[in-house]
Amino acid sequence: MRKNKPSYAELIQKNKEELLKDREQIEKIEKRIEEKHVNPKINNESAE
């Protein structure tokens, strides 16, 4: 018999909880956000 798969929302919540426990991942995310705010024009041009 198959196990019930977690819903998409449940998977997102679980991922958020795991990220909040991982300080290194939080720092990487914060660094990316800061870079986007410091150099928004550069980042937008490279995406095109």
Mean pLDDT along residues 1-29: 89
Asked if residue 7 belongs to a domain, the reply is no
Distance CA 37, CA 34 (A): 5
Q: And the tokens for 10?
A: 């449940």
Mean pLDDT along residues 20-46: 81
Asked if residue 5 belongs to a domain, the reply is no
Mean pLDDT along residues 18-39: 89
3-state DSSP percent of the chain in helix, strand and coil, to 5 = 80, 0, 20
Q: What angle do CA 16, 14, 31 make, to 5 degrees?
A: 20
Domain count of the chain? 1
Asked if residue 3 belongs to a domain, the reply is no
Identify the pLDDT of residue 48: 47
Full residue range of the structural domain in which residue 44 is found: 23-48
User: pLDDT tens for residues 3-15?
Assistant: 788 899 999 999 9
pTM summary value? 0.47
